[in-house]
Structure 1
Amino acid sequence: MLPVSAPSATAETGCTNGVVPLNPYVVNCNLPSRGSQVIGAAPDAGAIIACRHSPICLSYYVNYPGSLVVPGYRP
């Protein structure tokens, strides 16, 4: 297995160079910008990648915008 490194933040752009597991709200520098989120709409690429292997995380992102599976976990 490859070593896992922590995502690095870019101060000038306000985005993260990587994905934070279980936190689909982190803005990723490598993915397209997000539009406005509507309840029940399809998740964007960042949410799908961040919530991989966790259907509960993806369900919260789609049905309860702004909610996290792990409360208080905002890097």
Structure 2
Amino acid sequence: MKMFRQRVLRPVLVGAAALSVVIAPTAVIEQISPGPTETRADPCVDGVIPWNPYIVNCNLQPRMPRVRGAAPDAGAIIACRGKPGCLSWYVNGP
């Protein structure tokens, strides 16, 4: 009877230890709340930043997915106003 108990008890204890190694970090991570250092940026900016046509402007219509070589949107045109090469870089660049 003692041998049977040792044969059964060892795999049960090893399985319990393995399960606790898998479950414990998940339980601890879920309890951690995001700290004040995690800030999320707004999806758009209220205005235009010169030389940065990639910024999404809140005051303009929503942007369509950008396709290389397609016509630029209003935000890119406004941001590149008076900057030689900026608009062509936006249209033909990556």
Give TM-score scaled by structure 1 length. 0.66
Greater fraction of residues in helix: 2
Structure 2, unpaired ranges of 5+: 1-39
CA distance in 1, matches of 2:60, 2:86: 19
Change (3 A) 1:42 1:14: same
Aligned residues: 55
Cross-structure match for 1:41 = 70
Higher relative contact order (CA 8 A, sep 6+): 1
CA distance in 1, matches of 2:92, 2:53: 13
Matches within 5 A, 1:9-48: 13-48=42-77
Matched residue SS, 2:87: helix
RMSD: 1.6
Q: Which amino acid is 1:62 matched to?
A: V
Q: 1:39 offset after TM fit, Å?
A: 1.2
Q: Which amino acid is 1:46 matched to?
A: G
How high is the sequence identity, in percent, across the aligned residues? 64
Matched residue SS, 2:85: helix
Question: Which of the two has higher C-alpha Rg?
Answer: 2
Q: 1:14 offset after TM fit, Å?
A: 2.1
Greater fraction of residues in strand: 1
The superposition leaves residues 19-38 of structure 1 with CA deviations (integer Å, 9 ceiling, x where unpaired) of 00000011100001111111
